Amino acid sequence: MKLSKNKRKLSPVQILALGFVIVIVIGAFLLRLPIASKNDSITPFIDCIFTSTSAVCVTGLTTVNTAEHWSYFGKTIIIILIQIGGLGFMSFATLFSLLWGKRITLKERLIMQEAMNSFSLQGLVKLAKYILIFTFSVEGIGALFLSTKFIPQYGPLKGIYYSIFHSISAFCNAGFDLTGNSLVPYANNLVVILAISGLVIIGGLGFSVWAEIYNYKGIKKLSVHAKLVISMTILLIFGGWILMFLFEMNNPATIQNMPVKGKILSSLFAAITPRTAGFNSISTADMTAGGKALTIILMFIGGSPGSTAGGVKTATVGLLLMTVVSVIRRREDTEMFERTISKELVYRAFVITTIAIGVVITTTMILSITEVGASLEYILYEATSAFATVGLTLGLTPKLSIIGKIVIAITMYIGRVGPLTLVLALANKKNGNSIKYPEGKILVG
């Protein structure tokens, strides 16, 4: 009887995955209420579940126009779901436990460890407090900057609401907007573009990295993880900025006819938001083939571990790149920043990337059957955006069939929970088999 009871107990990984499902379902039922829509009508459940999934998984893909369809009640539900999804429901559970004076149990700490991608159990409650304070502070500052432009345009109350909504959406890398056309109307607005860009970068860098930056005591004191994440982030931002400018500079449908300031801002913004915010200041459908291809690559890579962003993560790609460099240099182990990286981490990075590619390909193949008339370019873009929880689209999302909506919703969920669950499963379930088979040889390359 004791054995059967133990078997029925959910593991921390299962609780984490199930928790997201519960939040999504609750959000869907709240959005289905007549009060959630502008015309007091009941929104189709498939659109409610899709929107709730997109919000909790901080994606930004929508089957209905957020600005035009939802009432302020519905918009408020969406932004709450974004905040919970971005920080993780365990962060909020910890906050309420602390407010009520409840003791954090060992099992809760284990779940927090997995939710926050932390190396150990030590200092998790302190880290949770830091995350909440840091998040609300950054979002507040971001809202202040945005309010300088939104309040004069929309008035005090609506301007403040729009500032808070877009600040939370940007920091959580969600990409939901209330303008009806993302940030296209603000393509030449220095304050709005830089404020949103800053929030996206800060939210996508990872809380553990920001903790190290806050306690900065010299470059040599930074962990290998922080050095890799910061290096990859800088490389992707500036490299993507230059390439995006080159791809779109002669495109009259995007930045060619913009003033110099607009060209610089829009190309920078187009390099930052695919990782993985989902805002856009130029028409994504009108971008060149090179611009679209670069966007797909940036979406797939995404942000950094332990952040509000999705994708396979900068650390994963950086680790694989350094492994390639080490192999070319005929090193036995992967080396970076004068440190050796364990083979277990390299294997994990390889498996995560392989499964991610598999999910994107599978989603693309299914959608190519269900979405009749849609081009492969549109479908691959949509599948990558959903898995990497980005939210950018070429215009396919509102036209999805019911099956297509279900497939994309599942893909968003896998992108938000799947890679994390996989990492934790690989880290916790070690194979105790000590048998070692004779070496086999295979020709590769």
Give a yes or no: residue 334 inside a domain. yes
pTM: 0.87
Give a yes or no: residue 3 inside a domain. no
Q: What string of DSSP letters covers 351-406?
A: HHHHHHHHHHHHHHHHHHHHSTT--HHHHHHHHHHHHTT----SS-GGG--HHHHH
- Quote the percentage of the chain above a pLDDT of 90: 58
Q: Is 89 exposed, middle or buried (0-12, 13-18, 19+ CB in 10 A)?
A: middle
Give a yes or no: residue 434 inside a domain. no
Give a yes or no: residue 438 inside a domain. no
Give a yes or no: residue 436 inside a domain. no
Structural domain including 252 reads: 10-424
Give a yes or no: residue 429 inside a domain. no
Residue 432's pLDDT band (cuts 50, 70, 90)? low
Assess contact for 115 and 127: CB atoms under 8 A: no
| pLDDT tens digit sequence for 178-210 | 998 889 999 999 999 999 999 999 988 888 888
Residue 104's pLDDT band (cuts 50, 70, 90)? low
Give a yes or no: residue 1 inside a domain. no
Give a yes or no: residue 433 inside a domain. no
At 157 the pLDDT is 95
- Report the number of distinct structural domains present in the chain: 1
At 212 the pLDDT is 83
At 338 the pLDDT is 84
